[in-house]
Copies of this chain bind each other. A is one copy, B any other.
Amino acid sequence: MTSDPKPVGVAVLGYGNVGSEVVRIIESSAADLTARIGAPLVLRGIGVRRVNANRGVPIELLTDDIDELVTRDDVDIVVELMGPVEPSRKAILSAIEHGKSVVTANKALLAGSTGELARAAERAHVDLYFEASVAGAIPVIRPLTQSLAGDSVLRVIGIVNGTTNYILSEMETTGADYASALADASTLGYAEADPTADVDGYDAASKAAILASIAFHTTVTADDVYREGITAITTEDFASAQALNCTIKLLALCERIVDEDGREMVSARVYPALVPAAHPLATVGGAFNAVVVEAEAAGRLMFYGQGAGGAPTASAVTGDIVMAARNRVQGGRGPRESKYAQLPIAPIGKVSTRYYVSMDVADRSGVLSAVAAEFANHGVSIAEVRQEGVVADSGERVGARIVVVTHRATEAALADTITALEELDVVANVASVLRLEGTDP
């Protein structure tokens, strides 16, 4: 008879939506988890800001002494679900230095670090897992680091922020403007009181940084990500999108590009873009997330599911805990991200894509040709153009609008074109510029 295996001790930091669900799973699935790990998983403590009863867990499990909890001898795995960058960073580094494996969902921390946590984990020979940091329950980190380890990733395009996806879906289906769709999202609990992190694209930018780092074996931080939010999207944009058989989605794009000198670079960017109705991302509605990965040999893959919420996120966190625990029991470590490539970050001007430009113009002949000439002058080729009268409520025609869809061009060439258009006498203003993604060139 063999002796019972030594249990694996877990400390959970943070007891919100996700933390409480993780604790629930650890308790309610104990027998299954033991069988999968090869040893019992034992909850040693829960770190909270303030210890009080009525949390649904024995009060003796709660502690506000995070420093002590993460260094305890009977803790093998620290699960960080507190949220803000500090004190999470300090707690994780201390846990790693004390030989604990770490599971975290802290995207802002991961995307802000230039690899500090990964290097610390490397030195201490412990696991650092973060599947839940991007797209909640949807496995994307593990497929990218492991399943595609023999392939070359070309591009990752994701809808990774549920709040903005809900708002954009609302605008599309109900015809609501941005402000009322946001208000709806707040009422339903899909948007926070201060929605800045979501609607200005900061949350998606953190996730883009994490995805780009892993996909291209390169350090990419949130600051490296070009970012535009959805606050300027109008009902007119949706009308134009519909006319082009497209929808509008906030995309996180990570791409390996080759510049004009043949240098490989990594581009990571977040912006609202037109997406053709036939593209698999176009039908990802509401609070769902999806990530499309294009790789050299695998072709196009898509991963789809719930990107947020306590239970889905807890699923990803608990999967990481089980993997880290198995590694403990078997004396190994899991595969980790590598940064061997360290490609330079492409400035936004070097990125090329397609564009949709709408502008209010003078209602007279010759305007279209003047506008088209500016695109040509800057080497931006036009794929499609529409001119229409703008009619006031009175029924009187009060102006005209031109909508242009371009072929592929660099952001630099497009920016120069827009500047030139704005200087034209016949152009009252450039109302909207959006990228068009997910089409063939």
* Chain A positions near chain B (C-beta within 8 angstroms): 21, 25, 29, 32-33, 35-36, 131, 137-139, 142-143, 146-152, 217, 280, 283, 295-306, 311-312, 314-323, 326-327, 330-333, 335, 338, 340-341
Contact residue among B36, B280, B295, B321 (Cβ-Cβ distance under 8 Å from A340): B36
CA distance A318 to B146 in the complex (A): 10
The reply to whether B151 and A147 contact each other, CB–CB distance below 8 Å, is no
- Among residues of B, the one whose C-beta sits closest to the C-beta of A103 is B150
State the Cβ distance, A205 to closest chain B Cβ, in Å.
24
Contact residue among B25, B152, B217, B280 (Cβ-Cβ distance under 8 Å from A150): B25
Contact residue among B217, B299, B319 (Cβ-Cβ distance under 8 Å from A35): B217
The reply to whether B137 and A319 contact each other, CB–CB distance below 8 Å, is no
Give 18 pairs: A residue, B residue, CB < 8 Å, sorted on A.
Answer: A25-B150, A25-B151, A25-B297, A32-B341, A35-B341, A137-B298, A137-B299, A139-B139, A142-B146, A149-B322, A149-B323, A150-B314, A150-B321, A151-B315, A283-B283, A301-B303, A302-B305, A326-B335
Contact residue among B131, B303, B314 (Cβ-Cβ distance under 8 Å from A302): B303
List chain B residues, Cβ under 8 A from A311.
Answer: 296-299
List chain B residues, Cβ under 8 A from A32.
Answer: 152, 341
- Among residues of B, the one whose C-beta sits closest to the C-beta of A137 is B298
The reply to whether A340 and B35 contact each other, CB–CB distance below 8 Å, is yes
The reply to whether B302 and A304 contact each other, CB–CB distance below 8 Å, is yes
CA distance A322 to B151 in the complex (A): 10
The reply to whether A297 and B326 contact each other, CB–CB distance below 8 Å, is no
Known: A35-B340, A326-B335. A131 touches B152 (CB 8 A): no
Contact residue among B36, B280, B298 (Cβ-Cβ distance under 8 Å from A312): B298
- Among residues of B, the one whose C-beta sits closest to the C-beta of A143 is B139
CA distance A131 to B338 in the complex (A): 22
CA distance A306 to B327 in the complex (A): 32
CA distance A149 to B262 in the complex (A): 43
The reply to whether B142 and A147 contact each other, CB–CB distance below 8 Å, is yes
